[in-house]
Amino acid sequence: MKTKILIATHGKFADGIKDSLQMIAGIYDNIEVLCAYSQQNVDYRDLIERKVREHDYSTLNLLVITDLVGGSVNNEFMKYINDYPFYLVGGLNLGLLLELVMHKDDLNEESIRSCCRNSEKFIVFCNDCLENTDVESDF
């Protein structure tokens, strides 16, 4: 089953990372953003609850990716993880997003876990690369 990806972040990070993703990988119609706390007079708790509750799980999986594990956006989605059959990943970065988009038609618990493990390789303290001339072979 195809998967809808909801990128939910503090501020406009979701818009920016979606823009970067599109520059690299093209436009995907199954990606939505939620820029939490970027507008006044919006009840983001209610908006998040509606996004999860009103999603049609019979036609599309839902994968929510938040920017910060334990942050307010992630915590709001955590409230519904036992009540609705969606996937939730925290710790958004562009490498992870690219990895997930490449699996867009076959995302499941196993493939999402694999993408999360693979994206860890792209978080590197680059100063150490000067000491390790074989760093390219690590990728």
Mean pLDDT of the chain: 92
What pTM does this model have? Answer: 0.91
What is the phi-psi region of residue 43: left when phi exceeds 0, alpha when psi lies from -120 to 50, beta otherwise?
beta
Query: Which 3 state secondary structure label does DSSP give 96?
Result: helix
Per residue in 49-65, pLDDT tens? 999 999 999 999 999 99
Into which CATH architecture does domain 3-138 fall?
3-Layer(aba) Sandwich (3.40)
User: CA-CA-CA-CA torsion for 50, 51, 52, 58, nearest 10 degrees?
Assistant: 110
C-alpha distance from residue 89 to each of 46, 66, 85, 115 (Å): 20, 6, 13, 10
Locate the domains of the chain by residue range: 3-138
Identify the pLDDT of residue 122.
Answer: 85
Which distant-in-sequence residues (6+ apart) come within 8 Å of 66 by Cβ? 8, 9, 73, 74, 77, 88, 89, 90, 91, 92
Identify the pLDDT of residue 134.
Answer: 59
Query: Which 3 state secondary structure label does DSSP give 52?
Result: helix
pLDDT score of 11 more than 90: yes
Per residue in 77-119, pLDDT tens? 999 999 999 999 999 999 999 999 988 678 999 999 999 999 9
